[in-house]
Amino acid sequence: MPSPKNNPFSRWFKRTRSASSKPVASSREKREKRFFQTLHAGRTFPALTKWRFLPLVLNKKERTLFWCALCLLVVSVFALLISWYVSHVALGSSRGGTYTEGVIGTPQFVNPLYAQGNDIDQDLVRLVYTGLMQWHPTEGLVTDLAESYTISDDERVYAFTLRDDALWHDGTPVTIRDVIFTFNAIQNPEYKSSLHSAFRGVTIEQIDDRSVAFTLSEPFAPFLAALTVGILPAEYWGDLDPTTARLAERNLTPMGSGPYAVLEFTKDKRGAIQSYTLERFEDFYGGEPNIDTIEFKMYESLPELLLALKNHNVEGAAFVPKSRVDEFSSAPYQLINPHLPQVTALFFNVKHEYVEDARVRQALSAALDKDVIVETVLKGHGTVAHSLLLPDSVESPLENPLGYSPDKARTLLEEVGFDDETHLPITLTTVDQEETVLAANSIADMWRAVGVDVTVKAVDPARLREEVLKDRSYDILLSGTLYGIDPDPYPFWHSSQATHPGLNLSQYANRDVDKAIEKARTLSDVNERQGLYREVATTVNASLPAIFLYQPTYSYVTSSRIRGINIDSIVIPADRFGQVHEWYIKTRRQFYW
């Protein structure tokens, strides 16, 4: 049993008394005595009830050190608790709330067969319906209603297995019958679907209760992308006459298998739809959506829409022009800029008397500072392009064939016979839309700086096809080439598309390019296909039938209180809703161990 002499606490209680002093049994000494009795009782460490006497037996210096140590201990424990809380507790998504978005226009056909010509129709179809495949905003083309698929060795037969947990909004299961009905309707000319040509020559047959096969007449690599079309419920649509399907009320009261179902819509006195409300589908196979309802409000013009966004009448705008994005780039807004599969370019009419000369095309290319165009016109929300390849789709984009050199541009123009007195006359045509007109004017200023006499002609979008594209009535056309999910250059660079209604706007013809494009369309291997696309791009650049300028982004604005939005790229504006069931407004604290 330890003695007081050997006890480590005994030094705290030593007291020196003078020989002449008379002991006085003070209350303090009594407490010290009781504390010593604890030590004498054989305890190495005093009982907790005795520690309250400790301050009475410490000298001034020891008390100061004690309180400092105690404060440090409390602060350390508090810091450790905060650190643990931060590392184990986070704000997570919770269900609830309403998101209101403003759009321009009005719904007409909330039906996958007819939605292609109207952005708001496509938005609603994306929320209400799902397809065998889907464009994922961060992962690209992935399966959706399809659980899996296989491609035959000859790349002509695509077999799909349907997932077994997909339900229609009325609670009935999605079946192979629905898949077959949808594609038969697309192929049936009586339905008058704009998707009809995409499935011409394709046969569809059921393999078993959960599998279906599509057989192509010849290999076609981009076929998977066509299968993002929404699937219709056969039971809901099967009793209608195909010839009058476009007139059916069901086009505005659809039933799908997507994350949201139609709740209601309102009309004004003229019968025009003013708002369209969707409610979350709790049994959505991708996971129950967090936001309770999504409401669309319809506006007639862009200024009206942006005013409503500023006044907080809506929490999002389906589109904001680049000239206005700075107004919505900070709280209480968030600006989302996903990439678009589009390259904006200047297409030369190679049959024009001046631009058919390669030196003129080279001069006009050398006079352009593409970086300045991206910064001034797109406000930096875009990527400079030097070829028909999408800059964000290739590991090593092609370099600018000529670079930026106004001096070189002047020299080339002088070789052709144009100098300070005799200017090259050029008309630059574009569609009358804010972004393209700004770009055209910026380009014109750069060309004028090297002695080119430029006239900018902006054509109304409704008249562009008939007045400009049909007869190729332009010297140079500023336009965008919007690829699909697969960046297939066939519509824009194959010689068979050089005349209307083809989109080979430079009327370019090169047999080697044709062969490479045709071969690429038969290959399902993505790397092989991209290799051939690169060969096409290199060959096109060598003859310079166009000046490739930039790949733009899509400007989408929502309130900053809408969380969980993660969009890297889209193919069409409606793809912004690709993972809408993961968005959330409400939050809750979650513990992680």
Q: Which pLDDT value is given to residue 15? A: 46
Torsion of CA 27, 30, 32, 37, to 10 degrees: -160
Q: Which pLDDT value is given to residue 12? A: 47
Q: Report how far residue 229's alpha carbon sits from residue 92's, in angstroms, rounded to the nearest whole number.
A: 33
Does the pLDDT at position 80 exceed 90? Answer: no
Q: Report how far residue 157's alpha carbon sits from residue 419's, in angstroms, rounded to the nearest whole number.
A: 61
| pLDDT tens digit sequence for 510-565 | 999 999 999 999 988 888 998 999 999 999 999 999 999 999 999 999 999 999 99
Share of the chain above pLDDT 90, in %: 74
- What are the Cα distances from residue 562, in Å, to 98, 125, 337, 585? 10, 21, 15, 5
Does the pLDDT at position 14 exceed 50? Answer: no
pTM, full prediction: 0.82
Q: Which pLDDT value is given to residue 48? A: 62
Q: Which pLDDT value is given to residue 60? A: 77
Q: Which two tokens stand for residue 46?
A: 């005093």
Q: Which pLDDT value is given to residue 41? A: 52
Q: What is the mean pLDDT of the chain?
A: 89
Q: Which two tokens stand for residue 29?
A: 């000494």
Q: Which pLDDT value is given to residue 51? A: 64
More confident residue, 510 or 53: 510
Place of tokens 């450790």: 80
What is the CATH number that goes with domain 342-552? Answer: 3.10.105.10
Task: Check if the beta carbon of residue 521 is closer than 8 Å to that of residue 225.
Answer: no
Does the pLDDT at position 289 exceed 70? Answer: yes
- Is it true that the peptide bond before 332 is cis, omega within 30 degrees of 0? yes
Q: Which pLDDT value is given to residue 1? A: 46
Among 443, 470, 469, residue whose Cα is nearest residue 456: 443
pLDDT band, residue 94 (cuts 50/70/90): confident
The C-alpha angle 472, 473, 475, rounded to 5 degrees, equals 100
SS3 454: strand
Region 39-67 average pLDDT: 66
Among 256, 259, 207, residue whose Cα is nearest residue 229: 256
Question: Which of 54-63, 304-313, 535-544 bottoms out in mean pLDDT, i.e. has the lowest?
Answer: 54-63
Strand partners, 104: 299
Does the pLDDT at position 481 exceed 80? Answer: yes
- CATH 3.10.105.10 in the chain is located at 342-552
Q: Which pLDDT value is given to residue 54? A: 64
| pLDDT tens digit sequence for 358-382 | 999 999 999 999 999 999 999 999 9
Q: Which pLDDT value is given to residue 419? A: 86
Which CATH architecture describes the domain 99-338+555-586? 3-Layer(aba) Sandwich (3.40)
Q: Which pLDDT value is given to residue 205? A: 96
Task: Check if the beta carbon of residue 127 is closer than 8 Å to that of residue 284.
Answer: no
Dihedrals phi, psi of 547, to nearest 5 degrees = -110, 115
Residues 54-76 as b or e (16 or more Cβ within 10 Å = b): beebbeeeeeeeeeeeeeeeeee
Q: Which pLDDT value is given to residue 79? A: 86
More confident residue, 236 or 402: 236
Strand partners, 348: 476
Question: Which of 91-100, 255-264, 491-500 bottoms out in mean pLDDT, i.e. has the lowest?
Answer: 91-100
Place of tokens 């069409």: 572
More confident residue, 486 or 7: 486
R_g of the chain, CA atoms, integer Å: 36
Strand partners, 548: 345
| pLDDT tens digit sequence for 168-226 | 999 999 999 999 999 999 999 999 999 999 999 999 999 999 999 999 999 998 999 99
Q: Report how far residue 554's alpha carbon sits from residue 572's, in angstroms, rounded to the nearest whole number.
A: 9
Q: Report how far residue 565's alpha carbon sits from residue 226's, in angstroms, rounded to the nearest whole number.
A: 25
The C-alpha angle 556, 338, 570, rounded to 5 degrees, equals 100
Q: Which pLDDT value is given to residue 592? A: 62
Q: Which pLDDT value is given to residue 343? A: 95
Show Cβ contacts of residue 49 under 8 Å, excluding neighbours closer than 6 positions: none
- Is it true that the peptide bond before 55 is cis, omega within 30 degrees of 0? no
Question: Which of 91-105, 107-121, 389-403, 415-429 bottoms out in mean pLDDT, i.e. has the lowest?
Answer: 389-403
Among 257, 255, 253, 259, residue whose Cα is nearest residue 281: 259
Q: Report how far residue 131's alpha carbon sits from residue 286's, in angstroms, rounded to the nearest whole number.
A: 13
Burial class (CB in 10 A: 0-12, 13-18, 19+), 113: buried
Show Cβ contacts of residue 529 under 8 Å, excluding neighbours closer than 6 positions: 221, 486, 520, 523
Among 404, 399, 387, residue whose Cα is nearest residue 540: 387
Does the pLDDT at position 30 exceed 70? Answer: no
Share of the chain above pLDDT 70, in %: 88
- CATH 3.40.190.10 in the chain is located at 99-338+555-586
